[in-house]
A = this chain, B = another copy of it.
Amino acid sequence: MKKIEGTTINGKTTIQELVENMENFGFQATQLSKAASLIKKMKKEKATVFLAFTSNMVSSGLREIIAELVKKKLVDVLITSVGSIEEDVMKTKKDFYLGDFNADDLELRKKGINRIGNIFVSSECYEALEDTLQGFFKAIYDKQKASGKMISPRELCFELGKKIKDERSILHWATKNKIPIFCPAITDGALGLNLYFFKQKFPDFGIDVSGDMKELADITLNADKTGAIILGGGTAKHHTIGVNILREGLDYAVYVSTGTEYDGSLSGARPKEAVSWSKVGKKADHVFVEGDATIIFPLIASAIL
């Protein structure tokens, strides 16, 4: 067994050195260090890597770190909620700002500022998004009319990515590198409201959410091994582990979450529970790191960057 022991830190200590040493710290430092090792192992074993994340990751500075992973083709599949798509687009046009958890929300509202924790998002960002989406929907709609086939959420993300030139954008690199983005709840956000407005003129425009199941299943079934890095919960997490039932579970799973286990929520469920479901494999390597991903993900991502 390994001894518990701390380490010497100074101004020159690199993240990698610290993360390696953390294995011997105990508690979540150990979990974090194991997560970093497991990500390295996934890559070494040439697993198909799913990166699942909730939209607050894109609200935060993790957006650029995720974009870099996509740019460098270090992940193979992205699964996320629609807020991620929206905010990645918005950030190509307007910046988000550092705010305060305890801000006066009525005051913010008067100023046209929307709060996400301690991040402030101006309503202008949403107006910019609207500008993009209305034209974009029209182009997609025209294609639908021509082909008779509704677009799927993945195809929608792919098309949207073509319009983005920002090198800090996840969508940009995903499209460029043909890394698919799955987004099972594509209407659950500003995109949905924009769709509602668009459909007032073009009521027969639609999105076939069933259209992505085959591609997602194929990727999963054709992979030699699969690994997942899952930041947060919700549909992004569930969709990722759910599809892996088809192959009797992920070979590698790293969860980073603040969710709690004792309410039976999917978001708080540990990899251990997923083993019973064949979402995570019988002999899979898996690690759960409890905490905020804005701190944990840069540390574990450094293992492969």
- Taking beta carbons and an 8 Å cutoff, which residues of A are in contact with B? 1-16, 18, 21-32, 54-56, 59-65, 67-68, 81, 83, 95-99, 101-103, 105-106, 108-109, 113-120, 150, 168, 184-190, 192-193, 195-196, 199-200, 203, 205-214, 217, 232-235, 238-239, 242-243, 245-246, 258-269, 272-273, 275-278, 282, 290-296, 298-299, 301-302, 305
Contact A64 B7 (CB under 8 A): yes
CB distance from A112 to the nearest CB of B (A): 9
Contact B258 A260 (CB under 8 A): yes
Given contacts A4-B59, A22-B294, A25-B298, 17 further A-B contacts (CB under 8 A): A21-B61, A26-B61, A26-B118, A26-B119, A27-B60, A28-B291, A30-B118, A109-B275, A118-B264, A119-B264, A150-B150, A199-B213, A205-B210, A206-B208, A258-B259, A260-B260, A263-B290
Alpha-carbon separation in the docked complex, A139 to B80 (Å) = 31
Contact A113 B276 (CB under 8 A): yes
Contact B27 A292 (CB under 8 A): yes
B-chain residues with CB within 8 Å of residue A235 when the two chains form the complex: 81, 185, 188, 234-235
The residue in A9, A188, A243 that gathers the most chain B C-beta atoms within 10 A of its C-beta is A188
Nearest neighbor of A236 in chain B, beta-carbon distance: B188
B-chain residues with CB within 8 Å of residue A10 when the two chains form the complex: 302, 305
Nearest neighbor of A238 in chain B, beta-carbon distance: B188
Contact A56 B3 (CB under 8 A): no
Contact A258 B265 (CB under 8 A): yes
Alpha-carbon separation in the docked complex, A301 to B305 (Å) = 24
Q: A199's contact among B184, B210, B239, B291, by CB below 8 Å, is which?
A: B210
Contact B292 A29 (CB under 8 A): yes
Per CB-CB distance, the 10 closest pairs between chain A and chain B, nearest first, are: A6-B64, A117-B264, A25-B61, A29-B294, A6-B61, A28-B292, A185-B185, A206-B208, A26-B60, A196-B213
CB distance from A221 to the nearest CB of B (A): 10
Alpha-carbon separation in the docked complex, A233 to B264 (Å) = 13
**12 A-B contact pairs sorted by A residue (CB < 8 Å):** A9-B65, A9-B298, A22-B61, A25-B60, A25-B294, A29-B298, A30-B98, A117-B269, A117-B273, A186-B209, A206-B208, A233-B267
Contact A61 B5 (CB under 8 A): yes
Contact A101 B261 (CB under 8 A): yes
B-chain residues with CB within 8 Å of residue A6 when the two chains form the complex: 60-65, 67, 168
